[in-house]
Structure 1
Amino acid sequence: LILAACPRHPYPALLASTIIDGSSSQRFFADHLPTLTDSAGKDPIPDHFVHLAFASIAQATKRP
């Protein structure tokens, strides 16, 4: 999906694995170590990784 959105993205596999691994880690932290997350009663994990993906793709599309 990353390459479909931005064929010139320099690290599509790294971004995908970061999203998968990071979201899993953040779920664990939210359940077991809540001070390591910014949850505050709301589940910010999907919003954070959507923002990360779109910001990375936007930055990659600006590259020459």
Structure 2
Amino acid sequence: MPYVNIKVTDEGVTPAEKKALIEGTTKLLQDVLNKDPKTTFVVIDEVPTDNWGIGFETVSEIRQKQE
């Protein structure tokens, strides 16, 4: 029973994109590991950019510098 946790920043991932992630991840586990899609769990967590750090900065700070 595979469990996959995908974490992304909360920057507008659409329902269609989430569905594609779930379908693609499930298909990959089926193809590579022969796992049953009926027992494969995929969870997507959207993390606020203030709570995601790279190096010494939050993603929010990095995004502000890119503007």
Q: TM-score, normalised by structure 2?
A: 0.38
Structure of larger gyration radius: 2
Q: TM-score, normalised by structure 1?
A: 0.39
More helix by proportion, 1 or 2? 1
